[in-house]
Amino acid sequence: MTNQAPRSGVGRGMIYGFSAYALWGLAPLYWQLLRPASATEILASRMTWSLVFLAILNQVRRTWPAIVAVLRNRRSLRLLTIAALLITLNWGLYIWSVVNDHVIDASLGYFINPLVNVALGVFLLKEKLRKVQWTAVAIAACGVLWLTVDAGKIPWIGVILGLTFGSYGMVKKIANVDAVESLTVETILLLPFSTVYIIWLELQGTATFGHAGWLQGFWTLMAGVITALPLLAFGAATVRVPYSTLGILQYISPTLQFIIGFTVLHEHMTRGSWYGFGIVWIALAVFSVDAIRSGKRFAASDE
């Protein structure tokens, strides 16, 4: 029998997992609080203050020697540099989508992300798919194609977000570095650019931090905490909850984003958009049922 997390830890892991995806799903409401800052200023602030929070966290965890070791490892540093570029593009486009009222478009990217992961596994890692998984990918592709035809253009926000986040996860998987340590290294790599940009905004007189009221400044400072907390909760969940269960929990995030975009921010959905999203949701249902069944079969074979 393989080692499994104690049952007493599964419940706690579910709370961690739900918390992580709920925080990611509610993020559009948070980024709205940082207005009138631009998407690029929010992105730079997120990078900078994330490192401050992570520095404190690493000091408490006494993990600086491990981070130095990662920085000295050429392979890890090269992979995490790629990861940093991917997450910068992903964060930047996502924040831009939120502040420009495209939350529903952004949610599509995270709905299709599990299927993007599957596709990347096939083409890059030469993994083999079950027939049901191929069916789910094909259905999702039809959904994206429908949205493309209906709108007369590719839903580029969702596609790019799905591809960049899926690629980011793939690179992190290959790098195989602790979540907190890898994020710390990524933010260290990005710090010179984010700091220079913030200073440039200040010199140009276009910065909002410190000039748009104390409350907006407070929310900007908290961007680092808001970035790191879901990651820490996710890391705690992965060691306590079966991976197939986490695969289902991850739909909490885009579902909340979609609900916020439609009900709170009153973004418009055409009939064709509903059909397209409906096709993607069918694909996710097929994918999820197969993941649950295969997870049960795998668990039974280990007993």
pLDDT tens, position by position, 121-172: 777 777 677 788 788 888 888 888 888 888 788 889 988 998 998 888 888 8
Residue 61 pLDDT grade (very low, low, confident, very high; cuts 50, 70, 90): confident
Average pLDDT (6-19) is 73
In a domain, 128, yes or no: yes
In a domain, 1, yes or no: no
In a domain, 51, yes or no: yes
Instruction: List, as own/partner pairs, every contact residues 149-158 make where C-beta atoms lie below 8 angstroms and the sequence separation is at least 24, other chains included.
Output: 150/270, 150/272, 150/273, 150/275, 150/276, 151/272, 151/273, 155/105, 155/108, 155/276, 157/93, 157/97, 157/102, 157/105, 157/106, 157/108, 157/109, 158/105, 158/106, 158/107, 158/108, 158/109, 158/111, 158/112
pLDDT at 288: 76
In a domain, 2, yes or no: no
pLDDT tens, position by position, 245-255: 666 677 888 88
pLDDT tens, position by position, 17-49: 888 889 989 988 988 888 888 889 989 988 888
In a domain, 226, yes or no: yes
pLDDT tens, position by position, 219-269: 888 888 888 788 778 777 766 776 556 666 778 888 889 999 999 888 888
For residue 6, whether the previous peptide bond is cis, meaning omega lies within 30 degrees of 0, is no
- Domain of residue 209 covers 7-302
Is 267:103 a contact under the CB 8 Å cutoff?
A: yes
Is 24:90 a contact under the CB 8 Å cutoff?
A: no
